[in-house]
Amino acid sequence: MEEQVNHLFELTWAKFLSTPSNQRLLIAIAGPPGSGKTTLSQLLTKSLNTRHESLHPSSSSQPIATYVPMDGYHYSRAQLDFFPNPSEAHRRRGSEFTFDGSKFIDLVNQVSKGLGQTICAPSFDHALKDPVENGIKISADARIAIFEGNYILLPSSPWTTALPLYDLKFFISAPEQTLRNRLAARHLAAGLVPTLELGQDRADFNDIPNGRQIQQGILAHPSGTIDVILESKDDEAWALK
């Protein structure tokens, strides 16, 4: 994983150096559930901030890079109660239709307009199982915003609206069995299931079909859309989150 992260870091840093100082660099990282998007996004964000701090040790500014997951754009459980089929919406939470994609696109548009104002985005509280308004703050002088989410690079509405706004687009692919094993372990660790076997059943019901939609949709139209496609290897580093 380290070699892959270093490659994306150097690519992103070079792109940042060529970005005008009054503009933000927007990065999009997508992939199926269990592919390691969160791990990669957080490591990339940390590496960018560390490099900047090492070059500007006396700077008192905010971190130069901010990580913005799309998890905060889950519809709340209360909102799902008003869906045409509330029971199905709750059971399929995490599927594309259970996210407010248009509201996420509004955020990307706002962030892309440049520096000068602090922008707030919702986070997601896994204990409460609901979004938290204004849980993420993108500071007025943050030069890099790293967006991460399952669906954000899909070649379909509403996601296509934001594709021209991203300066770099990274997609993480992974074998289905690797995803299934990671997701089963995740569900077990979170207390959602009592056994790994039931964790795999849970993954097969919702996560794996969602992953197929994502991988098939994005990998079918990579030309001109994705800058880097990398494979999430089956090792401990990728399986962190």
Note the pLDDT tens digit of each residue in 207-217: 999 999 999 99
The per-residue DSSP string of 116-182 comes to SS-EEEEEEETTTTEEEEEEEEE-TT--EEEEE-SSTT-SSTTGGGTGGG-SEEEEEE--HHHHHHH
Q: How confident is the model at residue 241 (pLDDT cuts 50, 70, 90)?
A: very low
Q: How confident is the model at residue 221 (pLDDT cuts 50, 70, 90)?
A: confident
For residue 70, tell me if it sits in a domain: yes
Domain span at 68: 2-233
Q: Tell me the mean pLDDT in the region 214-237.
A: 79
Q: What are the tokens at 147?
A: 């967006």
For residue 240, tell me if it sits in a domain: no
Return the closest-CA partner of residue 150 out of 68, 90, 70: 70
User: Is residue 240 predicted with pLDDT exceeding 50?
Assistant: no
For residue 241, tell me if it sits in a domain: no
For residue 140, tell me if it sits in a domain: yes
Query: Residue 118: left (phi > 0), alpha (psi -120 to 50), or beta?
Result: beta
Domain count, the chain: 1
Instruction: Considering only residues 42 and 237, tell me which one the structure prediction assigns the higher pLDDT.
Output: 42
Q: How confident is the model at residue 222 (pLDDT cuts 50, 70, 90)?
A: low
Instruction: Considering only residues 69 and 190, tell me which one the structure prediction assigns the higher pLDDT.
Output: 69
For residue 183, tell me if it sits in a domain: yes
Q: Do residues 215 and 32 touch, judged by C-beta distance below 8 A?
A: yes
What is the DSSP secondary structure assignment for residue 75, as one 8-state letter? P
Mean pLDDT of the chain: 91
For residue 130, tell me if it sits in a domain: yes
Cis peptide before 158 (omega within 30 of 0): yes
Digit-coded pLDDT (tens) for 41-98: 999 999 999 999 998 887 666 789 999 999 999 999 999 999 999 999 999 999 999 9
Q: Within a 10 A sphere around the Cβ of 117, how many other Cβ atoms?
A: 10
For residue 201, tell me if it sits in a domain: yes
Q: Tell me the mean pLDDT in the region 159-176.
A: 95
User: What radius of gyration, in Å, describes the C-alpha atoms of the chain?
Assistant: 18
pLDDT score at 190: 85
CATH, residue 67: 3.40.50.300
